Amino acid sequence: MTDRSTSGSRLPGRRPLSGARTRILQVVAIVLAALLVLVTFQKRQLRIEVVALRDTVWRYVDLPHAGMVVPPFDGVTVAGDSVTVGHLRRGARQVLFVFNTRCGNCLVTLPAWRRMAKALEPHADSVEVYGLSLDPVPETRAYMEEHGLTFPVVPFHDERMQELYRIRGVPITLVADDIGAVEYTHIGSIFGEAEVAITDSVASAALK
């Protein structure tokens, strides 16, 4: 009988890789590593773009901007006059300066606001200028006297109304038409070289 035992026989081994095959595998490994780096970089760039887009949308949605509509409200100026903010006779405009008495950027902006209000005085039949103060009347009155503010200022304390006007910080310069549709906004201080351009934009929106 034939002995079919495999005892003592060798299992077939792997053939050694040729030099060309080794180089091919090395190139493939390098390409895969490069692709991994590229994909990681693209994911990072995409994440940055998504964050930037989210921030842009947040700013547009959550801050005052041209095209939004502000609701009207009845108020009484520091001087005791009854006014309506956010709604006017047909074709008129309102320019609103939103501030508080502790804001350093508001203080820097006061001279520009005074000049804007003065420049719009000849158009008082079609343009109303109001300050909106986030502070109580006594503090606001003292602030107006100290800094020579002559345009009417309306206390603006209603938190719900502040939300509807999207007040997240001050100073804010805002121009609205007769139905409360916002024509122009500037968020932040106004001074120096930028003042002329901003003042021109406010005047252009207010005198349409």
pLDDT tens string 122-151: 999 999 999 999 999 999 999 999 999 999
Question: 33, 146 in Cβ contact below 8 A?
Answer: no
Q: What is the pTM assigned to this prediction? A: 0.72
Whole-number pLDDT of residue 5: 45
Pure H helices in the chain: 19-62, 104-120, 137-147, 159-164, 194-206
Whole-number pLDDT of residue 29: 79
Question: 140, 133 in Cβ contact below 8 A?
Answer: yes
Q: Which of 164, 174, 161, 163 is nearest to 128 (CA)?
A: 174
User: Which residues of the chain have a pLDDT value below 70?
Assistant: 1-18, 44-61
